[in-house]
Amino acid sequence: MFGKGAKRKLDEEDDEGLEGQALASPVAPGAAGGPGPRWPEGPSKVSYTLQRQTIFNISLMKLMYSHRSPPAEPRLERRVLINNMLRRIQEELKQEGALRPPLLLLPPSPPPDDPMDETFREAPPAAGSGPGPATPGPPSAMPASPVTPASAAQLPLQLLALPPSPAPPPTPPPPPHTATPPCPPATPTGPAPMEACLTPASLLEDNDTAFCTLAPPTLPLSPPPTPPNCQPASPLPLPPRGPSPHGAGFFPPAPASLAPGPPAAIAKTAAAANTTTTSPTAPALPLPSPPLPLRDSRTTAPRAEVAVVSPTSVGVVADAPPASHPYPPAPPSPSGFLSDLALDDILFADIDTSMYDFDACTTAGAVTAKLSPAVTADDLLKSLTSPYAVAPAPQVSANQPFKIDLTELDHIMEVLVGS
Amino acid sequence: SAGGGSEDMQWCFSQVKGAIDDDVAEADIISTVEFNHSGELLATGDRGGRVVIFQQEVENKSVPEYRSEYNVYSTFQSHEPEFDYLKSLEIEEKINKIRWLPQKNASQFLLSTNDKTIKLWKISERDKRPEGYNLKEEDGRYINPGNVTSLRVPVFRPMDLMVEASPRRVFSNAHTYHINSISVNSDHETYLSADDLRVNLWNLEINDRSFNIVDIKPANMEDLTEIITAAEFHPHHCHTLVYSSSKGSIRLCDMRASALCDQHTKLFEEPEDPSNRSFFSEIISSISDVKFSHSGRYLMTRDYLTVKIWDLNMETRPIETYQVHEYLRNKMCSLYENDCLFDKFECCWNGNDSVVMTGSYNNFFRMFDRAQRRDATLEASREHNLPLQLLKPRRVCTGGGGGGGCSKRKKDEISVDSLDFNKKILHTAWHPNDNIIAVATINNLYIFQDKVSDPDSADDLSASDMMCTI
């Protein structure tokens, strides 16, 4: 087995190399005598980070997709174990964030009120028309915000926002692969084949500079030479959350705010993803402050709107009311609704949003006022860690979510009026 | 033979039940295997909700070589799929567990459960039927009373044996979560059923009430990090039960201490080995099965990579740990991806608690002889189906290098990368009094028996194929 920090031989099996690194995890803080996470050095640290990210993404994918038809109740043990995995990774990332404050500038922590409040559910209608309950600051204030452990927790979702393709083609995610796609894009029709999602360690070695860069001011200017199959399948993006004071989500506005390693890659791909939206002011590649929130606004808005017609719209999964049953298809927390819907939404960014009156693109400066607030990793985890959360039905196609929602809204209205 | 492990214990093929073709129907996937208390009956449950009971052939019981011949005795549909309209979710009909009741009279009783409902089945034989009614024809039609001119007394006449299964009790609506275990108490009056968060106590006679004895559901479900994975009553002490958790701990509860056994009497937990720590440490520590020894002195637990034997008197660590497939430790990321890391392997004791058995992948299963400190890897495969054919020990090579194969490929060796993870043996059972084992592959049931050693036989030369250790 690999000891901590042990270097791998280059000629070893790639899979084994990556797998072997599964053991090179830092000692957990709080372990007897442990001062805190001890990082393996050099390439093994990179591969550890990458593997952790991979596992995080895989875990989210597992929670999102139901393999059963007709849907049966989710297995609680499996969900609990996956949730614990996600929490552990998030915890680690939090602590890493705590260890590297100067390198990590993220949006400040979410407002103190509980995101699982009932008020949460009312936030989405307000999206696009006003800020959340907390006073939002302008996105430009974000670079100056101090790092808190909570904000550091938003890091994992940055790790998630990795579309499969490194090139910045102006296509919506998931973008087509130019190279052989061992990491297939997440499709709605079922769980993405995940066998190929592990990044071979050899690729990590190819891209040492990309992953190990600490503070890359010039980072976002060109697409990274990341391998085509570098990242796991899911462009799991940023589910909206309830009101957040700073709206613009987790994309740090300034390159200097990027954490080392994968966040750097994220910044690049965020730039790439940025170009996939129809943001009118987004330049092709760079990562300036406004386009990021803009992208958020473009993509979060429909989610917000979708959230308007939820929670019943989560009846994509089931029509059951969130009564007192153990595995309700609709998560009990509103953020759970949002996250489920958001994932569907992001997966189909070509959703026709014409029926929604939203002009966030014209409000780049005041974008925070309109944004459906960013979801932090905490919230995502919380929504996902609810054992009640059930994957959205993978059969939902691009335009249907909204139509389904409206239909169900009509139905609900009929029921309410009739009773 | 008394079921003990001997130096020369080798295993022979006896029978295989189930479809031959590789295209497996989901409903035929075996989900549980259980011998009854005498070993005469062997029950299997499948995903289609059916129970098939095999019976040991009476005529061959006394012939050592053929004593493990089992034939179908009864087949019945135990559970049907249900649809929970309130939640818009399906309740699977898959039989999660079967437990036999000790036999009290001519009939046999077993408990079978799916995710939500436990049923008590009575299996009875009918080999006589009354004939000669006054008012009924033989085919059942009633005779016009006006045509009856004489009286006669109906008599019982022999008929072809008919085995009937009838549900005597249905225990439902007591489990919000998925039932993973049932266990009959040694008092023969009560039994427990356990789901992910609760353990309930039932009286076999009363099906409209159950008593909750363990509840680990947190006030806020978002705080849920640990669930119950298995539970069992002590074989002799009717007040003692254990339940295992997804974090690798086992709690022993004494029902005399309090009505609600949320506070455990004993907690069996082994500290984590820091050198083996990984992302998957928790998942592989989750206990998939827990079984008391027949003696009641020991406890066996199965987690993903190991089988552990605990002494009930020592909570700090197991007294024995057996590696089932340690070569998988480097594959855990892939196994997590394809969900194999969540496979729930069961384990079982032999009759005198000297050997334990559990399943693995590639249709391999493992035996650990506690007394002899030997272990064996055997395969359930249709390639070795000659009657009484000896099973050759298998070996998995972990060799490094680019090929990942064995350096010297022997016929019985296979490399880790060649293992078929779809061929998993999750369910095994050992005859309570004999060296007869039932091993379930995905959709086939294999029955093996130990080789009957004949001092005069030349076959003893093949004893050079000793069990090899990995």
Structural contact between residues B234 and B251, judged by C-beta atoms closer than 8 angstroms:
no
List, as one string, the DSSP characters of B59-88.
TTTTSGGGTT-EEEEEEEE----EEETTTT
Amino acid A272 reads A
Residue A123 in this model has a pLDDT that exceeds 90: no
Alpha carbons within 13 A on the beta-carbon side of A51: 30
Contact of A254 with chain B, judged by CB distance below 8 Å, is answered with: no
Residue B200 in this model has a pLDDT that exceeds 70: yes
Residue B311 β-bridge partners: B298
Structure tokens at A14: 């790639």
Between B102 and A4, residue with greater pLDDT? B102
Least confident of A73-82, A98-107, A238-247, B75-84: A238-247
A71 and B178 in contact by Cβ < 8 A?
Answer: no
In chain A, the residue whose alpha carbon lies closest to the alpha carbon of B328 is A19
What mean pLDDT value characterizes chain B? 90
Contact of B89 with chain A, judged by CB distance below 8 Å, is answered with: yes
Interface predicted TM-score of the whole assembly (ipTM), two decimals: 0.89
A326 and B176 in contact by Cβ < 8 A?
Answer: yes
Contact of B390 with chain A, judged by CB distance below 8 Å, is answered with: no
Which residues 336-375 of B are in CB contact (within 8 Å) with A? Answer: 336-339, 342
Contact of A336 with chain B, judged by CB distance below 8 Å, is answered with: no
CA separation, residue A119 to residues A124, A133, A336, A380, B354 (Å): 10, 9, 14, 17, 61
Facing residue for B333 by CB, picked from A19, A70, A88 = A19
Which residues 431-450 of B are in CB contact (within 8 Å) with A? Answer: none
What mean pLDDT value characterizes chain A? 48
Neighbours of B172 (CB within 10 A): 13
Structural contact between residues A216 and A185, judged by C-beta atoms closer than 8 angstroms:
no
Contact of A9 with chain B, judged by CB distance below 8 Å, is answered with: no
- Would you state the pLDDT for residue B58? 79
B196 and A76 in contact by Cβ < 8 A?
Answer: yes
Name chain B contacts of A27, Cβ cutoff 8 Å.
Answer: 274, 277
Name chain B contacts of A31, Cβ cutoff 8 Å.
Answer: 274
Contact of B418 with chain A, judged by CB distance below 8 Å, is answered with: no
Facing residue for A70 by CB, picked from B90, B276, B277 = B90
Q: What is the Cα gyration radius of chain B?
A: 24
Tell how many helices (H) and how many strands (E) occur in chain A.
14, 0
Structural contact between residues B218 and B134, judged by C-beta atoms closer than 8 angstroms:
no
Phi-psi region of A253 (alpha: psi -120 to 50; beta: other; left: phi over 0): alpha
Mean pLDDT of B221-225: 93
Contact of A58 with chain B, judged by CB distance below 8 Å, is answered with: yes
pLDDT band at A47 (very low <50, low <70, confident <90, very high): confident
Mean pLDDT of B384-404: 76
Q: Measured at the alpha carbon of residue B44, what is the angle toward residues B449 and B48, in degrees to the nearest 5?
A: 145
Name chain A contacts of B331, Cβ cutoff 8 Å.
Answer: 15, 19
- Would you state the pLDDT for residue A225? 43
Contact of B227 with chain A, judged by CB distance below 8 Å, is answered with: yes
Q: What percent of chain A has pLDDT over 70?
A: 14
Dmax (CA) of chain B: 94
Name chain A contacts of B416, Cβ cutoff 8 Å.
Answer: none
Q: For A303-370, where are the E strands, in sequence order?
A: none
Between A365 and B350, residue with greater pLDDT? B350
Structure tokens at A27: 């000692």
CA separation, residue B158 to residues B106, B128, B162 (Å): 17, 4, 11
Amino acid A378 reads D
Between A225 and B148, residue with greater pLDDT? B148
**Distance from the B106 Cα atom to the nearest Cα atom in chain A, whole angstroms:** 39
pLDDT tens, position by position, A351-380? 454 555 444 444 443 433 333 444 444 554
- Would you state the pLDDT for residue B355? 97
Least confident of A19-23, A293-297, B210-214, B448-452: A293-297
Residue B305 in this model has a pLDDT that exceeds 80: yes
Which residues 375-394 of A are in CB contact (within 8 Å) with B? Answer: 382, 385-388
H-state helical runs in A35-106:
43-64, 76-99
In chain B, the residue whose alpha carbon lies closest to the alpha carbon of A9 is B401
In chain B, the residue whose alpha carbon lies closest to the alpha carbon of A69 is B90
Compute the distance between CA of residue A401 and CA of residue A414 in angstroms, rounded to an integer.
20
Alpha carbons within 13 A on the beta-carbon side of B198: 18
A329 and B87 in contact by Cβ < 8 A?
Answer: yes
Q: Determine the 3-state secondary structure of B206 from DSSP.
A: strand
Q: Which of B466, B455, B436 is nearest to B13 (CA)?
A: B436
Which residues 69-88 of A are in CB contact (within 8 Å) with B? Answer: 70-73, 75-78, 80-81, 83-85, 87-88
Name chain B contacts of A333, Cβ cutoff 8 Å.
Answer: 222
pLDDT band at A11 (very low <50, low <70, confident <90, very high): very low
Neighbours of B137 (CB within 10 A): 9
A323 and B86 in contact by Cβ < 8 A?
Answer: yes
B225 and A83 in contact by Cβ < 8 A?
Answer: yes
- Would you state the pLDDT for residue A355? 52
A85 and B178 in contact by Cβ < 8 A?
Answer: no
Contact of B176 with chain A, judged by CB distance below 8 Å, is answered with: yes
**Distance from the B70 Cα atom to the nearest Cα atom in chain A, whole angstroms:** 35
pLDDT tens, position by position, A149-163? 344 344 444 444 334
Chains A, B: CB contacts within 8 A come to 142
List, as one string, the DSSP characters of A111-180.
PSS-TTSTHHHHHHHHTTTS--SSPPPPGGGGGGPPP-HHHHTTHHHHHH---S--S--SSPSSPPPSS-
pLDDT tens, position by position, A30-39? 434 434 444 4
